[in-house]
Amino acid sequence: MAMTNVNIRMDEATKIAFDKFCEEIGLSVSAAFNIFAKTVVREQRIPFELTTEVPNKVTLSAMESAENGNDVYGPFDSVADLMEALNA
């Protein structure tokens, strides 16, 4: 099958992060985009959910705290102890 080139424009920070990700999992950027394109063609859909639902600031802050191991409580000895912590 004949090969062709496709040019994709993206911001530099995204490109750098994507290059790093691909390197970490052992794929070239070209291979990653080919996997994406072949999945789209095979499934006739974008292979992930597209949504405009963005977490609000409180949720984003809680997610960041959890990812960093901050403000994580537990384990709890009882449901009452959990509820007490949640209501605090």
Enumerate the domain spans of the chain. 8-50, 53-88
pLDDT at residue 40 above 80?
yes
Q: What is the pLDDT of residue 85?
A: 83
Pick from 10, 29, 11: nearest CA to 19: 29
d(CA 37, CA 6): 11
Global pTM?
A: 0.56
pLDDT at residue 13 above 70?
yes
d(CA 2, CA 71): 55
Tens of pLDDT, residue by residue over 44-57, are 999 998 888 888 99
Residue 42 · residue 53 · CB < 8 Å: no
d(CA 85, CA 66): 15
